[in-house]
Amino acid sequence: MSIIRYEQTQGKSLGFYALIAGLGAFILAALGSVYFMEHNGHHVTGMSNRIVWGLPHVFALFLIVAASGALNIASIASVFNKKIYKPLSRLSGLVALALLAGGLMVLVLDLGRPDRLIVAMTEYNFNSIFAWNIILYNGFFVIVGVYLWMMFERRMNKYSRKVGIAAFTWRLILTTGTGSIFGFLVARQAYDAVIMAPMFVIMSFAFGLAFFVLVLMASYKWTQRPLGDAIVNRLSNLLGVFVAAVLYFVAVYHLGNLYLAENAGVESFILMDGGIYTQLFWYGQIVLGGVVPLALLYSPATKGNRSMLGLASVLIILGGIAQLYVIIIGGQAYPMELFPGKEMLEGYGGIAAYTPTLAELMLGLGGIAVALIAIAYLVKFLPFLPESLADDVADPHHKN
């Protein structure tokens, strides 16, 4: 096998600076939104005492879930010893860290008192899944950071497999923890399901890989480095498998819920008469985020077409955001069953209204921009990207 040579990107072109400027504008808009929200209080958002987590949480959790998924490429190389993914490992670790940083930024800046972040870091309630998540996120930074170091430092290469296994284990626990934030909420019919945790793990596989594929293709295209079909087609196949798995889990989750009479109400709300949530579920999550990408990835007409793979990845990301919107906001909009067997006439109940504001949207998009700007800058300063991923470099056994 030929030696993989990693090299920084130039990062001097007009395009690079345009990209940075564009992302910078999004970040500034996000910071402006945060100032607006925190200065006035959350009354300027669409959130309320019924919809306590709004659009920022949708973006934050999407990014956090995708972050752990983006590390998969490195894990496949180190844990499962698939050599062809090895050259992608460094980028995989980078995308994972960048996405997590973006997600956490959104999560923290949407707190009621972000100025008290120090409290969150010093006061731990070990019964709280949330507190566990704080530890898991911080640990993820450390472990993936060490992992990257093992990969960069030639002397340390021999440890990279061991650290890779640790990182893989950690990320599985992390996404389980993220899913459990919802899975353990006994009071809410939409959430009280242990399947939430594995479903979030599978979602992370799909969202993280979609994000990774886009970053990979864009950076090789913009830096004019060769990127062979061998590797791209493999990623494409893998992406298809993950998307199908997400659909499977979604089906099991809803079928399981439908079986229980107590959950019939919330299920018919999400699946049939929930207005925007039903539309987002069927058109956004299932059709755009599931069926169409699968068709694009596997149908003979579009298979192997880079643009179609890019389109599929974008749709998976949009579908993923729709999915989290339905889970997080749809799940809150439907009222809790306070008095089973009774109809609520006054005081509580009804579908809670939620209209996201521009500030919330900009904060969420700012998280994505932070992730992208971190990637764009770090590939410029450190050799994350192999100078070539042409077929004969990436896969010596590849036959044209």
Residues within the interface to other proteins (CB under 8 A): 38, 40-43, 47-53, 111-114, 116-120, 122-125, 127-131, 134, 181, 184-188, 332, 336, 338-348, 352-353
Q: Which of 72, 104, 105 is nearest to 89 (CA)?
A: 72
CB of 77 to other proteins, least distance (A): 34
Beta carbon nearer to other proteins, 103 or 289: 103
Beta carbon nearer to other proteins, 26 or 59: 59
Burial of 400 (0-12, 13-18, 19+ CB in 10 A): exposed
List of residues 6+ apart from 81 with CB closer than 8 A: none
Beta carbon nearer to other proteins, 129 or 295: 129
Beta carbon nearer to other proteins, 12 or 346: 346
Rg (CA), the chain: 21
CB of 141 to other proteins, least distance (A): 18
CB of 340 to other proteins, least distance (A): 8
Beta carbon nearer to other proteins, 41 or 300: 41
CB of 56 to other proteins, least distance (A): 11
Q: Which of 6, 112, 23, 48 is nearest to 375 (CA)?
A: 23
d(CA 317, CA 249): 17
Bridge partners (DSSP) listed for residue 385 = 7
Give the C-alpha distances (Å, rounded to integers) separating 48 from 53, 54, 329, 354: 8, 9, 11, 8
Beta carbon nearer to other proteins, 149 or 184: 184
Beta carbon nearer to other proteins, 11 or 114: 114
Beta carbon nearer to other proteins, 49 or 400: 49
CB of 186 to other proteins, least distance (A): 6
CB of 84 to other proteins, least distance (A): 41
Q: Which of 188, 171, 368 is nearest to 270 (CA)?
A: 188
Burial of 348 (0-12, 13-18, 19+ CB in 10 A): exposed
Bridge partners (DSSP) listed for residue 386 = 6
* Residue 4, token pair as written in the block: 């993989």
CB of 40 to other proteins, least distance (A): 7
d(CA 336, CA 333): 9
CB of 221 to other proteins, least distance (A): 40
Cα dihedral sign, 26-118-374-171: negative
